[in-house]
Amino acid sequence: MLPASDARSERGASWLELFFDLVYVAAIAALAHELHDEHSVVGLAVFGGLFVPVWWAWRSFTWYSSSFGTGGWGDRVGLLVAMLASAVLAAGLGGAAQGDSTTFVVAYAGLLVVLCALHGAAWRREPTVRAINARQVVGNGLGAVLWLASLAVDEDVRPVLWAMAMLVLIGTPLAVLAQPLRAYDSHHIAERYGLFTLIVLGESVVVTVEGFEAGSGAEAVAVAVVGFVMAGAIWWVYFDRFRGMPGGGPAVLFVWAQVHGLVFAGIAAAAVGIEFCVEAAASGQALQIVDRLPLGAGLAAYLAAMAAIRSTTRRADIVVGMRLGAGLVILALAVGGDGLGPFGFVGMVGAVFVAEAAMEMWRWPPVEQAS
């Protein structure tokens, strides 16, 4: 185990981790499908609420693998079992969104039990960091109890217990980061977060392909092209800015690691928003506010999260102001854009978003530290 200021020897994602990611490709696609079918403000809120535990499950196994993964048979079996539970979780997302959450709850509790078992095994074999693993076992164990306890109450009340469980789970890393020793590989964590960024950007690629389908029409194709340009801008800024984990104390690391969840949720929601606009253009329908909100709110959330990360890991500067300002303009277009056609709305949003990204990258080139 190394001091907090040091990193372990750099390593890349393993083949098992990449295999593990495939289940979460399916989970993100299932979330996007639910948002598409539940075409309302409530549907957008449900999407955000369910995205948090899905992302947290992926994040928890990623940090375990980076910190304590040995590649031995125990870890391999544990991650394969977690993959199976994650597949059940993805299959249960539709029920959770529609008021039949038993499958989702049981699968999620099962994932937390697997995490407890993995951290328990690490507690036995790595005595120098037993305090870290003990905190993880307690936090994930209490989270599993709360998730299972939700089965005893009505469906309408279950989200309250889920929220309590997620507060426990999200708070657990703070107790871990307070320890003077670190077990994770910072290069590996940054790479894994980058891979999850590609997973959520994949939804934008799917939408682009749909926009190019025969019979879509010129406006639908143009909307899909603008959507892909915005996805390209996200890729460009993210992978030029985030070249590793930042230095700093527990609070800085916590913000960088956890606020990424809002980055990912925003990208995924924006992809569904582009899909709504493509479909409206293909059918010649006018855009309603429920069509515009996923794109507007998604990009605004992404930009707000990027601003929070930069202000915490570096400083609150003009780039932070540009990100927040662009997010507010885009959100205003989504809320007050009545009368705009699909291409008009996406074109204006794309112009604001790409202009902010281009100005940021041109005037304030990236540095080695995450920003």
Which residues lie across from 181 on neighbouring strands?
A: 3
Q: Return d(Cα 321, Cα 353) in angstroms, integer.
A: 14
Region of 61 on the Ramachandran plot (φ > 0 left; ψ -120 to 50 alpha; else beta): alpha
For residues 17 and 61, the answer to whether their CB atoms sit within 8 Å is no
> Which ranges in the chain belong to alpha helices (H)?
15-37, 41-68, 73-91, 93-98, 102-125, 130-149, 158-177, 186-211, 218-241, 250-283, 289-313, 318-336, 342-363
pLDDT score at 308? 94
Structure confidence at residue 208 as a pLDDT band (50, 70, 90): confident
Upper half-sphere CA count for residue 255 (Cβ side, 13 Å): 19
Asked if residue 80 has pLDDT above 80, the reply is yes
The reported pLDDT for the residue numbered 180 is 54
Q: Which has more confidence, 178 or 116? A: 116
- Residue carrying the six token digits 């992404």: 302
pLDDT exceeds cutoff 50 at 1: no
Question: 83-133: per-residue pLDDT in tens?
Answer: 999 999 999 999 999 989 999 999 999 999 999 999 999 999 888 888 889
d(CA 153, CA 15): 40
186-363 belongs to CATH 1.10.20? no
> Is residue 304 a contact partner of residue 324, using CB atoms and an 8 Å limit?
yes
Whether 197 and 263 have beta carbons less than 8 Å apart is answered as yes
The confidence score (pLDDT) of residue 247 equals 73
Start and end residues for every CATH 1.20.1410 domain found in the chain: 186-363
Residue 355 is encoded by which pair of tokens? Answer: 């202009």
What pLDDT is attached to residue 183?
66
pLDDT tens digits, residue range 17-59?
Answer: 999 999 999 999 999 999 999 888 999 999 999 999 999 999 9
Average pLDDT score over the chain: 89
Q: Which residues contact 313 (CB under 8 A, 6 or more apart)?
A: 246, 248, 252, 255, 256, 369, 370, 371
**pLDDT-based confidence at 365, cuts 50/70/90?**
confident
12 has pLDDT over 90: no
Fill in the amino acid letter for 358: A
Output the pTM of the full model: 0.91
- The reported pLDDT for the residue numbered 109 is 97
Q: Which residues, 6+ apart, have CB-to-CB distance to 35 below 8 Å?
A: 43, 44, 46, 47, 269, 272, 294
The torsion angles phi and psi of 199, rounded to 5 degrees, stand at: -60, -50
The winner for highest mean pLDDT among 7-16, 104-113, 169-178 is 104-113
Instruction: Answer whether 257's CB lies under 8 Å from 67's CB.
Output: no
